[in-house]
Structure 1
Amino acid sequence: MSDRNVELIQKVDAQLGETPLWDATRGLLWWIDIEQPTLWQLDPASGAAEAEAHPGTYLGSIAMTRSGGLLAARDLELVHRAPQSREWLPFARTPGEAMPATRLNDGRVDANGSLWIGTMDNGLAQGLGGLYRVDPDGTMTRMLDDVIVSNGIAFAPDGRSMYFTDTRRHVTWRLGLDETGREITSREVLADYASTGIRPDGACVDADGCLWQAFFAGGQVVRYAPDGRIDRQISLPVTNPTCLCFGGRDHKTLFVTSAFKFLSPEQLAAEPLAGSVFAIEGVGQGVPENLFAL
């Protein structure tokens, strides 16, 4: 499928746009710029957008809560904002890790209402990071070690497996979960791009149990069938798509964030839309985001 199916919905220069989440209650798309730490709120119907700058060095990811609030990862800390409030309050801090070596990165909420979120090596080279499960009481439990850049967290519709990517190892895994959905019972490679250098990035799952993933520096998003075959590829007008989610009416719109990070001056001149947000219609049926049980 070509980029003729891709619509620009927000022209913006995000250094590292990430974590789009569809807020079905408000009809809004939330997303962030990690390295120019900013929380964005976009109304795709009107084009109205609001930006909220955050303190700290990085805004790693966000999650929506069952109370209607937001959870945000700042550096190695999770902060919470209640509905209708502009005040962010401390919620949890990643145990045993320190800035500036690591920071929180990609995360997603499971069907139980817990947040699974990873840390990463800010130098993009060593396995200093890990994967954590964050329970509603703020307890953070380390589930995996030896991660360079945690990414691509997504949950199968049945809740019995999840996907996890280490972008700088170029590998995406399928992790089996126990009947409670709280413990990892198995780990198998879904896709290994170590020999090609492809950088699998953010991901989401559709109603058919297929995994959609952005290829950073690869200029496309792809869909994996449950057996691991890529059965759909969509080209984008930017080199660095970063993450994606389904939303819009009936969750049939695929929203994609992007980044201008790592692009040369020549590439930036050739890609005026780098860092913008895109929408793709008619490619699949999404499912609503799970909400953190705060």
Structure 2
Amino acid sequence: MLGEGPLWREAERRLYWLDLRAPSIFRFDPASGRNETLKASLPTGLGGMVFDRQGRWIVVDDSGLHRLDPKTGQRTDIINPEAGRPENSFNDAKVDRRGRLWTGSCNQDWVTPTGSFYMLDQAGTLSVIDRKIGCANGPAFSPDGRRAYWTDSPAREIYCYDIDPASGAVGPRQSFHKFGAVAEQPDGMTVDADGHLWVSLWDGWCVAQIRPDGKLERRVKVPVPQPSAVGFGGEGMKQLFITTASLGLTDEQLRASPLSGHLLVADVGQRGIAEPDYGG
């Protein structure tokens, strides 16, 4: 229904990815084409997943941040800073180059600006980075770890912060790229080894490559209207995996885009960077 979170694990030569609305964790083997559904105790509303350095899963969902044991699927609570905000749920999660976990929240209507953006450091201390967000999406980090990107999807704008990699100190919010008054909304993101930002454009039928100076470099068309997230992986980190969604599409739209809800892969002529594990 709502594919998300493509995350390549080089040691396994597998891609992990999610369905947020029919909550599932998948593991895809490009060599065999096999896609497994993994055992896990999941809530009704999944938001994102990363790994920690012990190989455990950390998921964000409608009740906060949790660890999952990949052998048993059992869940252990970490923290829920929005326990008093039942209208909100967590959405998307990534780890920066020094092992800090970043995640955001959004109103469950995906529009009302009640969301916040958080950072969980290696010691387990949670900091609020930003507030009054419609739907925090797609954290991504420059190759040198000195810049964090995120998008407020309803605002159709990508923002960035300067980061001190050693201390984790975060500078003020800056506008990085503003999309026009069109239907497409920036969603999940990643960076390539040259520092370009790759952005899935929901309702845009494409993913976009944006230069480090914020200028649009190109669009790569995809055969579905709702690409939801992107992540590099495969041999040499040269494949761009693209999750997509069938959520909300009419029967007519699904006939026009039968690959909606599928996991796609593209050769975009760039190499990605391995995503770090959470250091806590």
TM superposition score normalised by structure 1: 0.90
Alignment partner of 1:68 is 2:42:
no
Q: Aligned residues: percent identity?
A: 32
User: Partners of 2:20 and 2:68 in 1: how far apart?
Assistant: 18
Could you tell me how far 1:54 is from its partner in structure 2? 4.3
Could you tell me how far 1:104 is from its partner in structure 2? 0.6
Aligned to 1:77: 64
The change in CA–CA distance for 1:181 and 1:187 in structure 2 (over 3 A counts) is: farther
Could you tell me how far 1:254 is from its partner in structure 2? 0.5
Aligned to 1:191: 177
User: Partners of 2:180 and 2:155 in 1: how far apart?
Assistant: 6
Amino acid at match of 2:251: P
Aligned to 1:10: none
User: Partners of 1:199 and 1:173 in 2: how far apart?
Assistant: 14
Aligned to 1:101: 87
Aligned to 1:241: 227
Deviates more, 1:165-174 or 1:194-203: 194-203
Give runs of ≥4 in structure 1 deviating > 4 Å: none
Could you tell me how far 1:179 is from its partner in structure 2? 4.7
SS in 2 for 1:124: coil
8 A Cα contact 2:64 2:82, kept in partner: no
Could you tell me how far 1:99 is from its partner in structure 2? 5.7
User: Partners of 1:194 and 1:130 in 2: how far apart?
Assistant: 24
Runs (5+) with no aligned partner, structure 2: none
Aligned to 1:178: 164
8 A Cα contact 2:241 2:265, kept in partner: yes
User: Partners of 1:247 and 1:48 in 2: how far apart?
Assistant: 16
User: Partners of 1:88 and 1:156 in 2: how far apart?
Assistant: 33
User: Partners of 1:16 and 1:191 in 2: how far apart?
Assistant: 25
Q: Name the count of aligned residue pairs.
A: 279
Pairs within 5 Å for 1:250-269: 250-269=236-255
Could you tell me how far 1:155 is from its partner in structure 2? 0.3
User: Partners of 1:97 and 1:198 in 2: how far apart?
Assistant: 31
Aligned to 1:116: 102
Aligned to 1:152: 138
Residues 248-269 of structure 1: per-residue CA shift (max 9 Å, x gap): 1111111000001121221012
8 A Cα contact 1:260 1:268, kept in partner: yes
8 A Cα contact 1:170 1:197, kept in partner: no
Amino acid at match of 2:152: D
Alignment partner of 1:272 is 2:266:
no
SS in 1 for 2:81: coil
User: Partners of 2:158 and 2:268 in 1: how far apart?
Assistant: 26
8 A Cα contact 1:252 1:285, kept in partner: yes
Task: Tell me which of 228, 249, 267 is aligned to 2:214.
Answer: 228
Could you tell me how far 1:149 is from its partner in structure 2? 0.4
Root-mean-square deviation over aligned CA pairs: 1.6
Deviates more, 1:20-29 or 1:267-276: 267-276
Residues 111-147 of structure 1: per-residue CA shift (max 9 Å, x gap): 1211000000101221111001012343322111001
Alignment partner of 1:56 is 2:53:
no
Aligned to 1:128: 114
SS in 2 for 1:262: coil
Amino acid at match of 2:22: Q
Residues 62-104 of structure 1: per-residue CA shift (max 9 Å, x gap): 0022222211113132222345x22333242221444640111
SS in 2 for 1:185: coil
User: Partners of 2:15 and 2:167 in 1: how far apart?
Assistant: 27
8 A Cα contact 2:184 2:201, kept in partner: yes
Larger relative contact order (CA 8 Å, sep ≥ 6): 1
User: Partners of 1:264 and 1:90 in 2: how far apart?
Assistant: 38
Could you tell me how far 1:41 is from its partner in structure 2? 0.8
TM superposition score normalised by structure 2: 0.94
Runs (5+) with no aligned partner, structure 1: 1-14
